[in-house]
Homo-oligomer: A and B are copies of this chain.
């Protein structure tokens, strides 16, 4: 083999090493334009159903798109126009109620032109903020925040940069973003009233613990509702709020300890089924009869509440509808609506044996 031939071979091998792994370079709008024998902007117009394209041109372009299996590059689009991507920030994902909301969101969004990407905040506001900024930086077309742990002013700052709808944040005075909520104050009142109607007076609330509570949070609203109901019934002096540390692992233990206290209440309204179910479990282990020795009402009417061995009365806030409405609200805002929309859905009580009679 001559020196030239050897050199040629080496080049061939090198080219293969470089060229092989990268698949047959994805088609761009340029490739399509070339293939269809038209200009690049012409293709762009077809893609966006823009005004002023002849049928003939559209046919040609669409044929080329199919043949080349072309799909527009979202990243490039992001620099000039829309990305057709909606960002959703979830506070966390273990609470089954949030899954209802996600289902409602997807139902509406998947039927639209938009794709949905989720960020999961792990209940940490710093992580939430960085995810929101990342979504804005990705030039997403709109944001839905679910129960964010972020202050109202900061949210308003984000809303100036991107169309935004917030779920689980009771700030009906916000002008730059929309909100969709369940009436958490009313939900709590319904629960406590149901206990009062059944003759209870020693009714405590088991609430979530937060480092930095905020009037806009759902748990603050439920707390207000609890106090309202107690006061209205003249039981204000009996009001008691219990807390357990917000830590997944030892939470069940802390909840059990609560029931072992001498001053255990006769009735309990829990901010979430997550805790209410643990109460039911602990009561069974401690041979405390529900509802005769302890009446319990939870919140969210999660699927486990309805199971035969739990039978937990609970406030139902139909997360599916909340999610679907939030998605529709965002789409209408992206569509150009400027005035803020603040929706409040009414919750209802799902009566079950833990409530007593």
Interface of A with B (CB < 8 Å)? Answer: 21-23, 26, 71-76, 78-79, 83, 85, 87, 93-94, 96, 99, 102, 106, 110, 115-120, 122, 127, 130-131, 133-135, 137-139, 157, 160-161, 277, 280-281, 284-285, 304, 307-310
Contact = CB atoms under 8 A, between A and B. Distances in A.
B119 A118 contact: yes
Nearest to A106: B122
A139 B160 CA distance: 26
A90 B131 CA distance: 18
Contact of A133 (B71, B116, B304): B71
Contact of A106 (B76, B106, B120, B138): B120
Contacts of A99: 93-94
A63 B72 CA distance: 38
A83 B26 CA distance: 18
Contacts of A304: 304
A115 B133 CA distance: 11
Given A106-B122, A119-B117, A72 B137 contact: yes
A184 to B, nearest CB: 23
A139 B74 CA distance: 8
Given A99-B94, A309-B281, A134 B119 contact: no
A307 B75 CA distance: 47
A253 to B, nearest CB: 13
A72 B139 CA distance: 12
Contacts of A120: 102, 106, 116, 118
Contacts of A133: 71
A83 to B, nearest CB: 8
B106 A137 contact: no
25 contacts: A21-B160, A23-B160, A23-B161, A71-B137, A73-B139, A74-B134, A74-B139, A75-B78, A83-B138, A87-B117, A93-B93, A93-B99, A93-B102, A115-B119, A115-B134, A117-B117, A117-B119, A117-B135, A118-B119, A138-B138, A277-B307, A280-B309, A281-B309, A284-B308, A304-B304
A284 B94 CA distance: 27
A122 B157 CA distance: 33
A158 to B, nearest CB: 10
Contacts of A71: 133, 137
A72 B76 CA distance: 15
A73 B26 CA distance: 23
Contacts of A134: 74, 85, 115, 117
A139 B71 CA distance: 13
B137 A73 contact: yes
Contact of A130 (B26, B115, B160): B115
A26 B26 CA distance: 32
B281 A75 contact: no
Given A78-B78, A93-B93, A26 B161 contact: yes
Contacts of A138: 74-75, 83, 85, 138
Contact of A79 (B72, B79, B127): B79
A190 to B, nearest CB: 26
Contact of A307 (B26, B74, B118, B281): B281
The 7 closest A-B pairs by CB, nearest first: A75-B78, A309-B309, A23-B160, A74-B137, A118-B118, A75-B139, A117-B117
